[in-house]
Homo-oligomer: A and B are copies of this chain.
Amino acid sequence: MKKLSTEPYKGTRDFYPENMRLQNYIFDTMKSVVEKYGYQEYTASIMEESDIYRAKTGEEIVNEQTYSFVDRGGREVTLRPEMTQTVARMISSKWQDYPTPVRWYSIPNLFRYEKPQKGRLREHFQLNADIFGIASPFADAEIIFLASTLMKNFGAKEADFEIRINSREFLNDFVGSLGLKEEDRIKFYRLLDKKDKISEEDFKSSVKNLLGGDIANKLMEKFYFGEAILTMMPESSAAKYLNSVIDILKDLGFKNIKFSPTLTRGFDYYTGIVFEVFDTDKSNSRSLFGGGRYDKLSDNFIDQSIPAVGFGMGDVTTKDFLETHKLLPERNLDIDIYIVVAGETDLVSVYRIADKLREEGLRVAIDISDKKLPDQLKVLDKRNAKFVLVVGSKELEDKKFVLRNIKTREEKQVSLDQIVGEIK
């Protein structure tokens, strides 16, 4: 018989227990941080009707990069490529039920149909944290504060990352004042986002091709002023808003926040602040994650604009960052006692002992392989356990057992009642 492949589907990952432990460390850290900030968990199905990705998402995503199919009822279905449309749908549905600020988080798996490469898989996980209902700079600042606290809880120092911030609204005001028409802006922003990744030559010729000579020259001249452009429109309310967010964060002690006039983020739905957390290590110099304000997304669902600001932090880039900065945690031992069983022992009695220990809260596994004792002991280092307990007929009779710390190899003779105390 021809055998089936044991590989996972292309661009996806199998999480064996040793991988899952790292994954759980990442999820648990994310959860504990956002919950400390009062964010409450939600989730939804991975399947959404495709329509919700057609409005106000980056074009690339809708046309080329989604898993979409038609179901037998004729519905067009998409495996969610991002969570923001879903959470906008959900909050729009029950907007009256929740007093503001609404703080929600989720760690969904997301799907993109793209060529797998470093940091980009077809399925990955992403922490999403959002505040709804607050149009003030304090919401934007809190979201950026939260992003920074996450980095620090993963062990990063402030110097390990930089927070780049910009405002879509300010950009609109600024390029508008220079005469750039609304319909050209999104395309220009996409080029702008690439400015620092390509040569000056290439950037200039791309902008000229897109917009024609006159307006292109005017725009480019300004954008080569860099950070100074924020001071060029002191009366713009968007510039004031952006400065407020930066000031709040500086007041709270941030030293790694930086206005970045070319930052735009991929999605078209952003309406205000956008930001990115950037790795400052030269070997991993890249954007780690980011987010921004999207006050109009609820308009697709209801007759109301719900102010919203949030970010998404992916598991794959987080793992790359932890590796680059040598911040991966030590192995987490997930079994307290591994019981090895001497030959001819009544296993029902061993089960009873194990269950008594479990009632005390211990995680206990039994070697029921029926192998010889030395063979059971030989593989102990693969068990990911803290202690080994030897149980045989003699031990059952004497009610005395040998408990050994697997790492230190320290041994003790104990009664059943003493075990919990020894381990805790």
Contacts and interface: CB of A to CB of B under 8 A. Distances in A.
A421 interface: no
A40 B23 CA distance: 13
Residue from the set A17, A71, A103 with the largest chain B CB neighbour count within 10 Å: A17
A4 B55 contact: yes
A149 to B, nearest CB: 8
Residue from the set A14, A52, A383 with the largest chain B CB neighbour count within 10 Å: A14
A272 B361 CA distance: 32
Interface in A86-127: 89-90, 92-94, 97-101, 103-104, 109, 113, 122-123
A36 B101 contact: no
B252 A351 contact: yes
A87 to B, nearest CB: 10
Contacts of A328: none
Contact of A52 (B4, B49, B347): B4
Contact of A90 (B6, B48, B358): B6
A293 to B, nearest CB: 14
Contact of A36 (B109, B248, B362): B362
A343 interface: no
Interface in A348-404: 348, 351-352, 358, 361-370, 379, 382-385
A323 interface: no
Interface in A1-38: 1, 3-10, 12-17, 20-21, 23-24, 35-38
Contacts of A24: 41
A69 interface: yes
Interface stretch (A130-138, A166-174, A258-266, A411-419): A130-138
A14 B139 contact: no
Nearest to A77: B9
Given A47-B9, A136-B370, A383-B99, A364 B38 contact: yes
Contacts of A365: 37-38, 101, 103
A44 interface: yes
Contacts of A231: none
A73 interface: yes
A335 interface: yes
Contacts of A67: 69, 71
A61 to B, nearest CB: 15
A178 B318 CA distance: 62
A24 B105 CA distance: 14
A224 interface: no
12 contacts: A4-B51, A4-B89, A14-B42, A14-B44, A17-B104, A20-B40, A24-B41, A38-B364, A99-B383, A103-B365, A133-B369, A139-B368
The 8 closest A-B CB pairs, nearest first, are A38-B365, A12-B45, A6-B93, A99-B379, A17-B40, A69-B69, A36-B358, A9-B47
Given A3-B300, A9-B47, 7 more contacts: A3-B302, A4-B301, A6-B89, A13-B44, A38-B363, A47-B123, A67-B69
